[in-house]
Amino acid sequence: MAADRLLSRDDLPDLLSDITRTAFGSPSSQTPWAVLYDKHKNDCSERLRQVAEPATRAFPRVNGRRGTHAPLRTGHQAEHIPAFLEPDWYQRYLANCAGSESKTVRRAAAVRLVQWAMGGTYDDAAEFLGITPVPTHLLTGRGTRRSARAGCDPLEVDRALRALASELQSPRQPPVDYRRRRQALHEWVLGIDAWNTLVGELPPTLVQFRTLTNDRKRQDASVFIWTLVTRGEHLFAPRPLEATQPTEIQQQWAARRNTAWFQYSRPDPLGHYADLRRVLSKYAQRLARDIDAGAHPTSLG
């Protein structure tokens, strides 16, 4: 009766997190309670195992690999998670506990949601999303001194992420298949005809700018569209035009990446970037609808 009452508590995740909370620098998976649980977890109920997993970080071995675990009954599918957590999801659940680590939390949270859904290792989930694995200290309880300096509490992040996962079990509208979008735009670039059409939609005074017709500008525009459609980070966007350039030109383009992205992503874009962003955003919406409707990648301009 006592066990049933304990397992039925809605705040069981918080309770276990409090039990395993330790001083800075001591991984939660090495606390006495976590060590004891690790020895007997195979005899524990599924409810306890699912709740204890984030609090203890003692992932079981699957196929001999440490850090690998079976999928949890999360209710969401891995393909419905974008590589860079949806801004709305982040603001409603994680912004208050991420501190100055917002970018890392958004990326790491997306990886963890995929890992919960599909199982496997953290690196497997990152590969599924097409990104480079990021430090996991914000989600594992390790490196807590750094987390504290950044104003980020790993346990609070974990609780918020669990709450988000619960919401994703019953989406308010059909979920987006972000994996399909990533696959459709793999090595994609805006076609020259589509680019010229978009440039033609700009105010006449801007079309005369020579920079609007060069390939670097088209590559930057393609990256911006890709981030809108896939909800990914510009760092991981395909750059096939750049790859075909001589080494010296590739280096020049690479040196301009952050500057171009800043102009596209800033809240108050200056000059022709404001008009460019407007037409590119509309194009991205149409492109996303085409992909979701099953358009073949070869037909995407």
- Give the contacts of 249 (CB within 8 A, at least 6 positions apart): none
Opening angle at CA 175, ends 171 and 176, nearest 5:
155
Provide mean pLDDT across the span 113-136: 85
Helix axes 102-118, 154-168, angle to 10 degrees: 50
The pLDDT confidence band at residue 180, using thresholds 50, 70 and 90, is very high
Helix axes 272-292, 247-265, angle to 10 degrees: 90
Question: Cα separation of 136 and 148, whole Å?
Answer: 15
Q: Tell me, what's the pLDDT at 224?
A: 96
pLDDT at 142 over 90: no
Question: Cα separation of 155 and 159, whole Å?
Answer: 6
pLDDT digits (tens, 9 = 90+) for 3-18: 888 888 877 776 766 6
The pLDDT confidence band at residue 270, using thresholds 50, 70 and 90, is confident
pLDDT digits (tens, 9 = 90+) for 246-255: 999 999 999 9
Where do we find the tokens 């005369």? Answer: 208
